[in-house]
Amino acid sequence: MTIDHQACDFAIYGILGDLSRRKLLPALYQLDREGLLHDDTRIIGIARHDLNRQSFLDHIREGLHRFIKEDLDNDVVNRLLARMHYLLVNLDVPDEYSRIKTFADQKKRLLINYFSVAPFLFGDICSGLAHAGIIEPSTRVVLEKPIGRDLASSREINDIVAKYFSETQIYRIDHYLGKETVMNLLALRFANSIFTTNWDHNTIDHVQITVAEEVRVGSRWGYFDKSGQLRDMVQNHLMQILTLVAMEPPVNLHDDSLRNEKLKVLKALRPITHDNIDDMVVRGQYGRGYIRGNEVPGYLEEAGGNPASTTETFVAIRVDIDNWRWADVPFYLRTGKAMATKRSEVVIHFKRLPHNIFADSYQNLPPNKLIIRLQPDEGVEIEMLNKVPGIGQGLQLQRTMLDLSFCEAFNNSRIADAYERLLLDIMQGRQALFIHREEVERSWQWIDSIQNGWQQSHEPPKTYPAGSWGPVASVALLARDDREWEE
Ligand code: NAP
């Protein structure tokens, strides 16, 4: 592998937190293992605890062992630890940022600031960096989700950061955009003529996007209850998948080409308001049920839960995109917690054929489906009809799958975690896979309208048994259109 970026100081604010330990440090380990970190790159861990270097490194080493599933290469671990430096900075004390300045001034080069802390601290960090005189035109900042909980609060966060940094310095993360299979959507759509020419209302009947989680809310109850599944999953991850499936071909893969096309889709979403919400959206909350054979409590019975909560743990939405390509082609989105299994996929349902010449043996020809499995077992399947071999029984047809499992097709090679790609892109200064401010705000605007519709309707969420595919009303949402969910 060759390095095509300069050495940098990569500062992680909140180095002792969950995201750093579970995702960022393992990703940095993998990049170092692949030879993708510049030899001279330093990683600066920032937190507010008084740790000496040895206990800091012990903590990092323990985290790597805990969160990386494969056997660790000790040489790589030692190389990574040698890059790591700990700075004690209380993020709400502006004078303490001078420690970062002193450290950065030793080398005076590209400084990347990864805010792996709650968003209410973003403003403090930006003003602290400015107070210490650290910000240069080359300085980059990385913002973790959630960027707000509605349009107003997302604007507030974006405004504060914009006081100190221009849009070209800001990298907003949605880790779904770093997933190998989500990226493969681009390859599938724009590198294969069979799909580029069959990707609109002429050939596609509808699209389903499912992000089902088997996990319950559990110990995250207090945090989750303030947001709910619509804000936590749809506003970011599902909207990003939707825009990649629906966008027009970008002229290239450069930063703004991709982001502009996604933004156009967001602008074309038909609003869902109080007037049409009952026909377009189903919200659910899991009740008591069984997951993998074990009885589990309902959302309202979880430890620390408030039995009067009306926060949704499931949402299904019919989305209409009012543009030429997608006229009369609904996109059905569905996501939930405590569902039957963990599965994320996009299913493209093609139109029925206009006439059936096999009616004698097969009365109802099912349309083709393209299934893009995002997780687990990443891959692509095409469901099609084939003739059953043989000469005795007339012309018999049978559904068969063309199945491409990435893991098998690419010799069981390891599929990189989303954060590995994203961290590398940040170091390389590529913004294409990061969310532009306008995208965040457009998406919140659309989500807010649904949230307002719910508030006005006073309808509680529909209960579904934990371990199922959601409330019956979600089945009815598609049945009304004479369609059914892929299960
Ligand atoms: P976390 O475990 O609570 O970590 C946040 C860290 O920030 C803690 O170590 C905390 O230190 C530190 N901190 C808080 N106030 C501070 C201050 N004034 N000065 C210095 N350090 C301070 O949270 P997280 O799960 O890592 O999440 C971080 C961000 O990433 C959040 O915005 C979250 O929404 C987002 N995110 C997380 C995940 C994930 O998988 N965890 C996924 C996607 C997005 P103390 O220990 O001293 O309090």
**129 Cβ below 6 A of ligand 1:** no
Residues 232 and 344 in one domain: yes
Residues 224 and 119 in one domain: no
Report the separation in Å between the CA atom of 11 and the middle of ligand 1, taken as the mean of its atom positions. 14
What pLDDT, on a 0 to 100 scale, did the predictor assign at position 254?
Answer: 87
Report the separation in Å between the CA atom of 18 and the middle of ligand 1, taken as the mean of its atom positions. 7
**226 Cβ below 6 A of ligand 1:** no
Q: Which of 88, 121, 144 is the last residue of a domain?
A: 144
What pLDDT, on a 0 to 100 scale, did the predictor assign at position 390?
Answer: 83
In a domain, 166, yes or no: no
175 labelled catalytic: no
In a domain, 103, yes or no: yes
In a domain, 164, yes or no: no
The count of domains in the chain is 2
Nearest CA to ligand 1 atom 14: 117
In a domain, 342, yes or no: yes
Sequential pLDDT tens for the chain (487 residues) = 567 779 999 999 999 999 999 999 999 999 999 999 999 999 999 999 999 999 999 999 999 999 998 899 999 999 999 999 999 999 999 999 999 999 999 999 999 999 999 999 999 999 999 999 999 999 999 999 889 999 999 999 999 999 999 999 999 999 999 988 888 899 999 999 988 889 999 999 999 999 999 999 988 898 899 999 999 999 999 999 999 999 999 999 888 999 999 999 999 999 999 999 999 999 999 999 999 999 999 999 998 889 999 999 999 999 999 999 999 999 999 999 999 999 999 999 999 999 999 888 888 888 999 999 988 878 889 998 888 888 877 788 888 888 777 767 776 677 889 999 999 999 999 999 999 999 999 999 999 999 999 999 888 999 999 999 999 999 999 999 999 998 8
Report the separation in Å between the CA atom of 13 and the middle of ligand 1, taken as the mean of its atom positions. 8
Report the separation in Å between the CA atom of 118 and the middle of ligand 1, taken as the mean of its atom positions. 6
What pLDDT, on a 0 to 100 scale, did the predictor assign at position 303?
Answer: 87
In a domain, 377, yes or no: yes
Residues 216 and 116 in one domain: no
Residues 280 and 348 in one domain: yes
What pLDDT, on a 0 to 100 scale, did the predictor assign at position 379?
Answer: 85
Residues 199 and 287 in one domain: yes
Domain extent, residue 134, equals 8-144
**19 Cβ below 6 A of ligand 1:** yes
What pLDDT, on a 0 to 100 scale, did the predictor assign at position 1?
Answer: 57
Residues 259 and 359 in one domain: yes
Residues 103 and 202 in one domain: no
Report the separation in Å between the CA atom of 19 and the middle of ligand 1, taken as the mean of its atom positions. 7
- State the CATH number of the domain containing residue 399: 3.30.360.10
Q: Which of 83, 117, 144 is the last residue of a domain?
A: 144
**275 Cβ below 6 A of ligand 1:** no
Residues 130 and 250 in one domain: no
In a domain, 305, yes or no: yes
Choose, from 237, 254, 274, 349, the residue flagged as catalytic. Answer: 237
Residues 317 and 243 in one domain: yes
Q: Which of 122, 144, 166 is the last residue of a domain?
A: 144
Q: Which two tokens stand for residue 403?
A: 């199945």
Residues 197 and 56 in one domain: no
- State the CATH number of the domain containing residue 132: 3.40.50.720
**91 Cβ below 6 A of ligand 1:** yes
Residues 332 and 468 in one domain: yes
In a domain, 154, yes or no: no
In a domain, 84, yes or no: yes
Atom number, ligand 1, closest to the C-alpha of residue 175: 43
**125 Cβ below 6 A of ligand 1:** no
